[in-house]
Structures are given as C-alpha cells and as structure tokens.
Amino acid sequence: SLSDRLESVFKKLRGHGRLDESNIQDGLREVRLALLEADVNFKVVKDFVEKVKARALGQDVLGSLTPGQQVIKIVHEELIELLGGENCALNLSGKPPYVIMMSGLQGSGKTTSAAKLALFLRRQKYAPYLVPADVYRPAAIDQLTKLGAELGVPVYPSTVDMNPVDICVDAMRDAELKGCSVILIDTAGRLHIDELLMQELVGIKEKCRPQEILFVADAMTGQDAVTVAEKFNEVLDITGVVLTKMDGDARGGAALSIKSITGKPLKFVGMGERLSELEVFHPDRIASRILGMGDVLTLIEKAQSTIDSKEAEALEKKFRKAEFDLEDFRTQMRRIKKLGSLEGIMKLIPGMGQIRKQLQDVQMPEKELGKVEAMISSMTMAERHEPKIINPSRKQRIAKGSGVTVTEVNQLLKNFEQMQKMMKKMAGGKMPSMPQGGRM
C-alpha cells in the first residue's frame, strides 16, 4: 500500500546520515509513484514533485541531522498547500435565506450529504430546509423526506410529476414563509455525465442563484471523480467540493487532484453513512492520510522538542531488550504527556510505525493518563520494575493510594503486559537499528 511504500521511503531516507542529490532523487521517485498509486492525477504529481525537489535541494536539508524527515516534512507541507492550505468555510454572506445546491453523479452521496449539512448548519444556529429535486429515482424523494423527518428539518413535499426547477422555485417561497435561513437543494444525478441533466442543473442555478454549488464526489472513484468534477465545474462553476466515503480505503488522492485541477476548494468530507459523520475538510489531515502517516509528522515535531537523542537511544535499548518497565513508562509519560498515548510514546522509537495498528488496542485516552500516572506513583519501585509481583493485596493498596478501583489497576497491568509482549516480539530482532547520526 501507499502507506507502506512511504514508510519505506521514510526509512530509506532516514537511513542516510547525510543526503545528496541522488538520494533525494531516489526518494522523490518513490513519492511520485506513491502519489500516482494513490490516484493523484499525473500532471498534478509532476508539478508537485518538481516543487518539492526545488525546495529539498534549495534548503538546508542536505546538511541537516535528519535529512529524510526534512524531505518528508516538505512533502507534507506542499501537500497541504496543494489542498488549499486552510479550510474554506461555506460562503453564507448577505441576506438569508441562503441556497446551497448539491450536484454530482448518482450514488456519490448528494442526498446523504444534504441531510448531513442540514444537521451541521442547524448546530450552527441556522434553520435549514431540505428540497428533494431528484424526481427521476422514485425512492429519492422518499429518502430525503425520511432523513428530514429524522432530523426534524422541514422538507419540501416534492412529487415525481413535478418539474425540478418548479420544485426549487416553490420550495424557496415555502422556506421563506417558514422562516428558514438555509435552503439545501438535493438534485438528481446520473451514472454518467448527461447533457439534459446538466441543463436542468443550470436551470436551477439560474432560478435559485445559490451561494454555494457543491460538487459531491465519491472518494472511492479516484481519477474518475476528477474528470467528472472538471465537467461539472465547467458547466456550473461550482463553489466547492464534498468528498464522501473517506471512511473507506480511499487514500484521498482524488482530493488532491480535484482541488488542483478545478481550483475549487474541498469544504467537507463524508466519514460514514450516519448523518453526524460529516467533517469540515482539513487539508493537513488529508495530506497526512495521503502520506499514510497519521499524525507522525506532528509527533516528530513534538518529539524533537521533548526528547533528546541520548534519551531516545537509551529508550530504544530498553525496548530492544524488553526492559522497559513501568518506571520508564511513567518517566516518559510525564515528559511527553502532550503526545497523549502509549502509541505516541512508542512512535518516538524508530521502526514503530509498522505496528501502529496493533497499538490501537493498547491505546489509552488522554484523560486516563492522569489516573495511570497516579497508579504508577502509588507503586513501590520494586513493583514498577517487576509488575508481576503485584498480588491482590498490593493491588488493593495501589488502588487505594491512587483513588482508583482495583479493576482499573488490573486494566493498567493488563495493558502493560500486552505492551511488553509486543516488545518481546520486536526484541526478536525485527526492529531496525538507530540510523547513524539520526536523531530518532
């Protein structure tokens, strides 16, 4: 997968104490392939890699202590830039009611997203109103009507024999009468771009003058979504994009291409079928996703400021020998509390990216960390070094001392045991060594 590929680029780049131009070229070749595989348009990739190369060669990267990480960071920053830098909010300015028109192919998620937006806007104190203007699929009106009822949002009573443009015009009158401030028009889609449909959308646009024409794209369709977005933009001059089904396997390459090719901002991301599963689009999150790195980059930055190389080396040795005990855990936890989790701590150690999935089971929520610290503090040094000796009466003492239940003490010990098991597995020789001159 892309994530693995970049992980290996990352490692390869990190493996060099110093980078030279040809190292960077090699690394960027991998990045290029990875982006193409993530379904990013080839023109976009070409420009992108050129930009990154210029920056990577021009900056202090070559002489820096962590050249590989610098390159990855530049890639990440440039991705964010390509994705628009910052979130672009809905443009709801001027006099209400505002009109938002949903457009896109059939099955892309228009109807769902219209309802999701209604919920989103209501939470922002707008009074939404839903308009089913897809009269071709018999179930489409019903679908939006049900979603509206679920939300308690008024829905225009469209019927299949009505003309979509007439529906919208009459719905605007009705919405105003009901004192609604945002009108969400759900339009029909086709399986392919269709001239008649396009003309109908143009008709709605002319009559309703929407503030926002959102193109809804299914992230899973990759490159195809880009071609379709281009066409919709040509005809409708869209104002933004909603990228749906990002809860699936899609890596988000389409997001990058749509933004660069249409020049229109992504505004929202669909993260599931439920109505609450709509997120405001954050370029940095999608950039990380495309890189397949989660929030590794932020962690790198945080880690660099909180942990020095000697400590990292000492920690790594302990991990390697599976000697990392509860006392070490507490020390690290105190120091890097900002990182928030066991996962965060383990990410500081080279080669840990691979087991991130496994770690998710061991992860603890941030608010639990205070409790954990209290529990470990209530243990004797002997107990911290060798948790095995913690018998039931010791558990009771620890629970009392830290103001938690015995169950919570048990949970901590179980989590820690799991982590130690993992350490033992890695101590079996699979863990890569610290790079020469590398900081982490």
CA distances for 7 relative to 10, 33, 75, 109, 356, angstroms? 5, 13, 13, 32, 12
Which residues, numbered 82-111, are part of the site for ligand GDP (CB under 6 A)?
104, 106-111
Give residues 352-391 in contact with ligand GDP (rule: CB under 6 A): none
> Do the annotations mark residue 422 as ligand-binding?
no
Q: Does 438 bind ligand GDP (CB under 6 A)?
A: no
> C-beta of 80: minimal distance to ligand GDP in Å?
22
How many residues of this chain interact with ligand GDP, rule: CB under 6 A? 17
Smallest gap from Cβ 124 to ligand GDP, in A, equals 20
Binding site annotation covers 438?
no
Residue 143 or 331: the one with the smaller Cβ distance to ligand GDP is 143
By CB under 6 A, tell whether 308 contacts ligand GDP: no
Q: Is 111 in the site for Mg ion (CB under 5 A)?
A: yes
Q: What angle do CA 353, 219, 201 make, to 5 degrees?
A: 160
Instruction: Look at residues 104, 55, 100, 98 and name the one whose alpha carbon lies nearest to residue 262.
Output: 104
Of 52, 123, 115, 110, the C-alpha closest to 81 is 52
The span from the CA of 427 to the CA of 323, in Å, is 10
Token digits of residue 257: 């291409």
User: Strand, coil or helix: what is 142?
Assistant: helix
Pairing of the two strands 266-270 and 278-280 = antiparallel
Nearer to ligand GDP, 169 or 271 (CB): 271
CB of 143 or CB of 298, closer to ligand GDP: 143
Tally of CB atoms within 10 A around 70: 20
Residue 355's contacts (CB-CB under 8 Å, 6 or more residues apart) are 346, 422, 426
Least distance in Å: CB of 306 to ligand GDP?
36
233-272 residues in contact with ligand GDP (CB under 6 A) are 244-245, 247, 270-272
Given ligand GDP, Mg ion, none, residue 96, with its beta carbon under 5 to 8 Å by kind, binds none
> Residues forming the annotated binding site?
104-111, 186-190, 244-247
Question: Which residue ranges make up the site for ligand GDP (CB under 6 A)?
Answer: 104, 106-112, 189, 216, 244-245, 247, 270-273
